[in-house]
Amino acid sequence: MKATSTAVLRFIEDFNLMNAEGVVNFNANIEIKAGASIHKVKSEVFILSVNPKSVDSINLLNAEIEALNFPIMFQSGKEVFSYIDDICLIVIGNNAENGDYVISIFPEKIVESSLP
Task: Report the predicted TM-score, pTM, of the whole model to 2 decimal places.
Answer: 0.87
Q: Of 104, 97, 108, nearest to 80 (Cα)?
A: 104
- Indicate the SS3 state at residue 26: strand
Q: Of 2, 26, 21, nearest to 88 (Cα)?
A: 26
How many angstroms separate the CA atoms of 76 and 78, rounded?
6
pLDDT in tens, 99-111: 999 999 999 975 4
The β-bridge partners of 29 are 42, 106
pLDDT in tens, 8-39: 989 999 999 998 888 899 999 999 999 899 99
The residues, ordered by sequence, that sit 6+ positions from 98 with a Cβ below 8 Å of its Cβ are 34, 35, 69, 70
How many angstroms separate the CA atoms of 15 and 58, rounded?
16
- Domains, the chain: 6-107 (2.30.29)
pLDDT in tens, 47-79: 987 665 567 899 999 999 999 889 999 998 889
Are 7 and 15 within 8 A, CB to CB? no
